[in-house]
Amino acid sequence: MREKKKVIIYGLGIGYTRIRDYIMNQCDVVGYSDRNGDRREILGEEKNKFILPEHLTDAEFDFICITSKKYFQEIKNRLQEIIGKQNRDKIVSVYEIFGDFRNEEVRNQWV
């Protein structure tokens, strides 16, 4: 069995609620982040995994998965400033991962 990617979910709004169950089954979610720290409350028992954006450099992960389609580029730019441009390939959109999930080859690259 393939080892699951260690993922930090960035964005706990409506985009997150749409993919929450699926991503929890397909990835090893090691953390959650959002610039609005109050959103940690929606995580319930998982709220201890909440990481403020400025502390992402302390976390161990394969990818940061941004759940917002509308603000993706803005968030990606901000995260690159935090984790460094050398890590920009670790910042992906949930739609890059799951957008064409009907395609087995694409799906197997991530899970």
- Go through 87-96 and write b for each residue having 16 or more CB atoms within 10 A of its CB, e for each that does not: beebbbbbbe
Query: Per-block average pLDDT, block size 10, for the chain (111 residues)?
Result: 87 89 87 95 94 96 93 95 92 77 55 51
* CA distance linking residue 25 with residue 56, whole number of Å: 23
Q: What is the pLDDT of residue 99?
A: 61
Q: Tell which residue, 52, 2, 51, has the closest CA to residue 29.
A: 51
Three-state DSSP state, 91 = strand
**The pTM is what?**
0.85
Q: What is the pLDDT of residue 104?
A: 58
Residue 7: strand pairing partners: 29, 63
